[in-house]
Amino acid sequence: MESEEKTTLGITVKKNEDFSEWYNEVVLKGGLADFADLKGFMVIKPHGYAIWEKIQQHFDAEIKKLGHKNAYFPAVIPEKFFEKEKEHVDGFSPEVFWITEAGKEKLNEKLALRPTSETIIYDSYSRWIRSWRDLPVLINCWNSVFRSETKMTKLFLRTREFLWQEGHTCHATNEEADKEVMAILNIYKKLMEELLAIPVITGKKTESEKFAGALYTTTLEALMPDGRAIQMGTSHNLGQHFSKAFGIKFSDKDRQEKYVWQTSWGISTRLIGAVVMAHGDDKGLVLPPSIAPVQAVIIPIVFEKSKKAVINKSEEVRDLLSTQFSVELDDREGYSAGFKFNEWELKGVPIRIEIGPKDVEKNQAVLVRRDTGEKEIVKLPEIGKKVKQTLEMVQKNLFEKSKKLLKENTHEASDLKQFKKLIENRGMIIANWCGDAKCEEQVKTDTGATIRCMPFEKIDKKGKCIACGKDGHLRAYFARAY
Amino acid sequence: MESEEKTTLGITVKKNEDFSEWYNEVVLKGGLADFADLKGFMVIKPHGYAIWEKIQQHFDAEIKKLGHKNAYFPAVIPEKFFEKEKEHVDGFSPEVFWITEAGKEKLNEKLALRPTSETIIYDSYSRWIRSWRDLPVLINCWNSVFRSETKMTKLFLRTREFLWQEGHTCHATNEEADKEVMAILNIYKKLMEELLAIPVITGKKTESEKFAGALYTTTLEALMPDGRAIQMGTSHNLGQHFSKAFGIKFSDKDRQEKYVWQTSWGISTRLIGAVVMAHGDDKGLVLPPSIAPVQAVIIPIVFEKSKKAVINKSEEVRDLLSTQFSVELDDREGYSAGFKFNEWELKGVPIRIEIGPKDVEKNQAVLVRRDTGEKEIVKLPEIGKKVKQTLEMVQKNLFEKSKKLLKENTHEASDLKQFKKLIENRGMIIANWCGDAKCEEQVKTDTGATIRCMPFEKIDKKGKCIACGKDGHLRAYFARAY
């Protein structure tokens, strides 16, 4: 019976054999998401949504500390707004869903389903902002956006609708906008490294990779175990591009009328996909404790005659641990302990606590780590302390492993030949670049690698442009990317 | 200067003179919401959204205690799903927005922008549910829905998109579904009465007023100060209507294959509109402390020479109160104290705390209640206790006032003549009814009043049907409604 269940429910593909198929299975069987019966769209199931709630709670609290507030703007955008900022419309229009009818009537004007909300929000800002007293405006929205992707659907990574937050701020000066961009980027970095346990490289996007309509885009890039990079989040300084297009002006302290300086920034449910890829293993999901909806699961090992004592003890342990951790007691009838072990492993719960008749006798429990599989017998009076320590160790271990992966798969290339050889093994390649978009394009065409970012850290290594061989005064991270 | 500000910013219409225009001004000037430049759509501004967050936090915690989990389903629904349940499609299709294009391409199949998610969710349920072990399914979604209203837009009350939660559960038996319907209705009632301070009448909808596709609908109805009723929330037993249409079957313990019994239920941002109407006054919003984003605002009364001492003391009070309440210190420069008083009154903050030079000397503050305008001098060592008591008193007072309004405006009618006379003053009318939809329709045509609900409380008053004069074995609340 048990082995049957294993075959049906467990992961059938190895992570290092078919990464893509492994990913699909982990997402589906781990109960994170499902395909909707509608090309390109996904359903975020309770386990996946609970991870998103953890991310939301953390980020929401961080931005509120800095004075940001949430608001809601319509999901549909009149065509006329959408077309006001030229770069922006060029960047997004190929992917826009259009609403053209209501009931049985044809609409007078087509409405775009928001691919991002700059335009509809900035129309409101142009009416709300009058004076320097109204600044800064620090607004964030939690919503979903729609982009008619044509490439193959990949749960969390490439779907036609996804959940995200989009922040939209207005400032009196460019310096303030710069500061805001970096403040948010730092919150993102902390979230990714400390909560998701995924190290990121931060830097600027090139002109060809920046957000459509931005002055510049900053980004956080991570490396996945298959050697491909993933953009984890972006924070843009929009300059005055949109404020000029939408007429967002304020009367400054010097009584001069000025256009505001703006930023926008976002992270999405794609982060959940990155967590799956970064930490999962051949048994399924492995969740960092900081975002695990269930941090420890208690599984009573039940035999008929000792059932009551084992359940009682399990409940006692649950009640004890619940004051500090999110704990679940799996006392479902009709499932074997082995089945439950597999299911909770699939779901990535960081700690399993087994309590059987012998454990009750000895006032102990067996504690099993999801990341390493290590088992340890713990005396019950110690269990609170032990769970806390173990969760910290799991969190740290996942981050260290990811840092190691990034370090071991980041290489320096000094010419195109070397670059091409290195990129065969994927990973991040750091190289010099002259700054010419043609060279960037050539590398992309030849190797499939794009410039992920130009890192903020100053790396004073002079060298020649990886593509043209002329003076390469810029440093850049290249990778094939999601 | 100050009076100028008053004229521009304050409410210019009295609540009892032009209720509708007063409502509009309070919502706009209180900073709750704004019209988008797009017919029928609204923007929920930070102050309004923060109230929604309070409602969300409370309800989310309550349903999670009962084992419900959140999830996310696509905002767009293929036409084919939408048409599977006949009553449902008839009820909603006149109001559906249709997506027909993506990029420059025409779609093969039209997609509905969700007016409610039964159909797309139940398509997933039909694939997720196999056995009695999978039941109950207790899922809730926080999202927005779209209905192409043609009547005049009213912020929070009638807009083409609004935020809500929709719960969708599956059960093994009808009895369990009945229980779920009532469990949720009770959470709603508590939320409305204890948080929003609005008393509600609960009962069943008539066949003609029930949700399109439901077995029956339960509702919570409140009476607004203009004498019109408002539906505050609904909880439906869907029976097996949808499970049969979508094939949601499970193998029961007796090994028989059965269709699940379902419920769905929702409350929306419309509740914010009800709060505005129920409690607001000629100075603007009046918020119940339980949902006020800011419960107390501290306004320093600043003169040049004593400025530092007053600000220091204000900060000290803020820090003290912040541990228990949500408090804001309004130390903005360039605004007079009078201007700030008006602005925070407009925003409905329950308590204003004034601290001037004399107060600093005497180690006291002036505490002003928003609901009654009462002022009280409070010694600072007492202020925490006093704020707590006052918030409780405001909360209670608002609820008592609303209860009085409902009581004073609920009347019994024993025949149609009396009914017509009573309905001229609006309010709730309780009367007997024979149960025939024709009689219900006749009353509606003649008086504009609909049956809001058939109350759960047993009222054993025999009488004749208000419309046909025959045996009226049912009791019903009638009102003109939002």
CA B103, B145, B274, B285 torsion-angle sign:
negative
The backbone torsions φ and ψ at residue A3, rounded to the nearest 5 degrees and listed phi first, read -70, -30
Number of other CB atoms surrounding residue A124 within 10 Å: 23
The whole-angstrom separation of Cα A113 and Cα A75 is 6
Which value does ipTM take for this structure?
0.96
B310 with B360: CB under 8 angstroms? yes
Residues 322-381 of B with CB under 8 A from A: 332, 334-335
What's the rounded Cα separation, in Å, for the pair A400 and A197? 8
A383-408 and A307-322 helices, crossing angle to 10°: 70
d(CA B318, CA B328): 7
Residue A124 touches chain B, beta carbons under 8 Å: yes
What are the chain A neighbours of B102 within 8 Å (beta carbons)?
95-98, 148
- Per-residue pLDDT at B5: 42
Q: How far is CA A292 from CA A32, A287, B25, in A?
A: 12, 6, 45
For residue A55, give both structure tokens: 């991310």
Please tell me if residue A73 touches chain B, with a CB cutoff of 8 Å.
Answer: yes
The rounded percent of chain B whose pLDDT value lies above 90 is 91
| Distance spanning both ends of chain B, measured CA to CA | 40
The bridge status of strand A375-379 relative to strand B296-300 is unpaired
* Beta strands at B137-146 and B161-171: parallel, antiparallel or unpaired: antiparallel
Residue B93 contacts A where some CB pair is shorter than 8 Å: yes
How big is chain B, counted in residues? 482
pLDDT band at A192 (very low <50, low <70, confident <90, very high): very high
Contact B317, B382 (CB under 8 A): no
CB contact under 8 A, B72 and A49: yes
Alpha-carbon dihedral A152, A157, A162, A163, rounded to 10 degrees: 170
- Taking the domain A296-390, which CATH number applies? 3.40.50.800
A100–B42 C-beta distance less than 8 A: no
Q: Which CATH number fits domain A13-279: 3.40.50.1980, 1.10.287.130, 3.30.930.10, 3.40.50.300?
A: 3.30.930.10
Mutate to test the interface with A, among B29, B42, B51, B72 (most CBs of A within 10 A): B72
Cβ of A163 and B102 within 8 Å? no
Name the 3-class secondary structure at A279.
Answer: helix
Distance CA A131, CA B243 (A): 57
pLDDT recorded at residue B153? 95
Are A102 and A95 in contact by the 8 Å Cβ rule? The answer is: no
Neighbour tally for B146: CB within 10 Å: 27
Q: How many degrees, rounded to 5, is the angle at CA B434 between CA B428 and CA B438? A: 85
What pLDDT sits at residue A91? Answer: 85
The closest of B242, B276, B285 to B262, measured between CA atoms, is: B242
Computed over its alpha carbons, how large is the radius of gyration of chain A?
25
Strand partners, A237: A216, A263
Residues of chain B numbered 96-115 and touching chain A (CB < 8 Å): 96-104, 110-111, 113
* Min distance B280 CA to chain A CA atoms (Å): 22
- CB contact (8 A) between residue B120 and residue A38: yes
Query: Per mean pLDDT, which range of A45-54, B79-88, B221-230 is the poorest?
Result: B79-88
Indicate the CATH number for domain B410-479. 3.30.110.30
Q: What is the pLDDT of residues A194-224, one digit of tens each?
A: 999 999 999 999 999 999 999 999 999 999 9
- Closest-CA distance, B198 to chain A, in angstroms, reads 25
Q: What local confidence, expressed as pLDDT, does residue A1 receive?
A: 34
Region A321-349: mean pLDDT is: 96
- Preferred mutation among A29, A72, A147, A164 to probe B, highest tally of B CBs within 10 A: A72
Closest-CA residue in chain A for B99? A99
Cα–Cα distance, B349 to B295 (Å, whole number):
6
**Would you state the pLDDT for residue B90?**
86
Comparing C-alpha atoms, which of A163, A164, A165, A147 is closest to residue A40?
A147
In this complex, do A46 and B113 lie within 8 Å of one another by their Cβ atoms? no
Degrees, nearest 5: CA angle B61-B63-B66: 110
Beta carbons of A368 and A361 less than 8 angstroms apart? no
Mean pLDDT along residues A401-408: 98
Give the pLDDT score at A9. Answer: 74
Strand partners, B454: B204
Number of Cβ atoms within 10 Å of the Cβ of A231: 19
For A322-327, what is the mean pLDDT? 97
Give the number of other Cβ atoms within 10 Å of residue B79's Cβ: 15
The two structure tokens encoding residue B99: 């997506």
Q: Is A93 on the interface with B (CB under 8 A)?
A: yes
Do B98 and A103 contact (CB within 8 A), yes or no?
no
HSE, side-chain direction, 13 A CA sphere, residue B55 = 30
Q: Quick one: CA dihedral B177, B178, B179, B185, positive or negative?
A: positive
Residue A411 to residue A420: CA distance in whole angstroms: 12
pLDDT of amino acid B300:
97
Residue B150: closest CA among B99, B98, B97: B97
- Give me the count of residues in chain A: 482
Return the H-helix or E-strand segment holding B102.
strand B97-102
Q: Are B33 and B50 a contacting pair, CB within 8 Å?
A: no
Of B41, B102, B163, the CB nearest to A76: B41
Q: A159 contacts in B (CB within 8 Å)?
A: none
Report which of A259, A263, A265, A264 is spatially closest to residue A243, judged by C-alpha positions. Answer: A259
pLDDT score recorded for residue A21: 97
Quote the minimal CA–CA distance from A237 to chain B in Å: 22
Contacts with A, B 432-451, CB within 8 Å: none
Mean pLDDT across the stretch B442-452?
A: 96
Domain boundaries of chain B, sorted by first residue:
14-279, 296-386, 410-479
Beta strands in B224-340 (DSSP E): 229-239, 249-251, 257-259, 261-268, 296-300, 327-329
Task: Look at residue B8 in the predicted model and tell me its pLDDT.
Answer: 58
Task: Specify whether the CB–CB gap between A34 and B124 falls below 8 A.
Answer: yes
What integer best gives the mean pLDDT of chain B? 95
- Give the predicted TM-score (pTM) of the model: 0.96
Q: What is the pLDDT of residue A321?
A: 98
- The reported pLDDT for the residue numbered A333 is 87
Residue B479 tokens, joined = 């009102």
A146 in reach of chain B (CB within 8 A): yes
What is the DSSP secondary-structure string of B123-155?
A: HHHHHH--BGGG--EEEEEEEEEE----SPPBT
Q: Which helix (H) or strand (E) holds B99?
A: strand B97-102
pLDDT beyond 60 at A6: no
Residues 9-68 of B with CB under 8 A from A: 34, 36-38, 41-46, 49-50, 52-53
Nearest to B144 among A46, A75, A334 (CB): A75
Q: How confident is the model at residue B264 (pLDDT cuts 50, 70, 90)?
A: very high
State the Cα–Cα distance between residues A108 and B159, nearest whole angstrom.
18
Rounded-to-integer distance, Cα B82 and Cα B99, Å: 14
Task: Identify the band that residue A5 occupies on the pLDDT scale cut at 50, 70 and 90.
Answer: very low
Q: Is the pLDDT of residue A470 over 70?
A: yes
Facing residues of A267 across strands? Answer: A165
Q: Which of A405-419, B72-86, B236-250 has the lowest mean pLDDT?
A: B72-86
Q: Which residue of B has its CA nearest to A77?
A: B38
CB-based burial of residue B323 (10 Å sphere; 0-12 exposed, 13-18 middle, 19+ buried)? exposed
User: HSE of A439 in the Cβ direction (CA atoms, 13 Å)?
Assistant: 22
| Residue A99 with chain B: CB contacts under 8 Å | 97-100, 113
pLDDT, tens only, B186-212: 999 999 999 999 999 999 999 999 999
Residue with tokens 């850049």: A476
Q: What is the DSSP letter of A363?
A: T
Report pLDDT for A211: 93
Is the model's pLDDT at A447 over the cut of 70? yes
User: Is it the case that residue B292 has pLDDT exceeding 80?
Assistant: yes
For A274-321, the pLDDT digits (tens) are: 999 999 999 999 999 999 999 999 999 999 888 999 999 999 999 999
What would the pLDDT profile of A224-267 be if each residue is shown by its tens digit?
Answer: 999 999 999 999 999 999 999 999 999 999 999 999 999 999 99
Chain B residues touching residue A123 (CB < 8 angstroms): 36-37
Predicted confidence band at A11 (pLDDT cuts at 50, 70, 90)?
Answer: very high
Residue B406 confidence (pLDDT) above 80: yes
Task: Read off the tokens for B72.
Answer: 């996310």
Report whether A235 contacts A166 (CB < 8 A). no
Q: Which among A45, A49, A74 is the nearest to B38, CB-wise?
A: A74
Q: Do A101 and B101 touch (CB under 8 A)?
A: no
Q: What angle do CA A163, A166, A170 make, to 5 degrees?
A: 170
| Interatomic CA distance for residues B313 and B302, integer angstroms | 12
Query: Rounded distance, CA A438 to CA A449, Å?
Result: 14
CA neighbours closer than 13 Å in the CB half-sphere of residue B177: 26
Q: Is the pLDDT of residue B226 over 50?
A: yes
A50 interaction partners in chain B (CB closer than 8 Å)? 69-70
Candidates A44, A124, A334; nearest CB to B36: A124
Q: Which fold has domain B14-279?
A: BirA Bifunctional Protein; domain 2 (3.30.930)
Query: What is the pLDDT, as a whole number, of residue A133?
Result: 93
Sort B470 into a burial class: Cβ within 10 Å, 0-12 / 13-18 / 19+: exposed
In chain B, residues 177-196 whose CB comes closer than 8 Å to chain A: none
- Class level of CATH domain B296-386: alpha beta
So what's the pLDDT on residue B185?
98
- State whether residue B128 sits within 8 Å of chain A by CB: yes
Residue pair A259/A243 in contact by the 8 Å Cβ criterion: yes
Q: How is A84-143 classified by DSSP, letter by letter?
A: SSHHHHHHHGGG-EEEEEETTEEEEEEEEEPSS-HHHHHHHHHHH--BGGG--EEEEEEE
**Amino acid at position B32, single letter:** L
Which residues of chain A lie closer than 8 angstroms to B96, CB-CB?
Answer: 102-103
The mean per-residue pLDDT over the stretch B409-429 comes to 95
| Residue B84, pLDDT above cutoff 90 | no
Name the DSSP class of A28: H
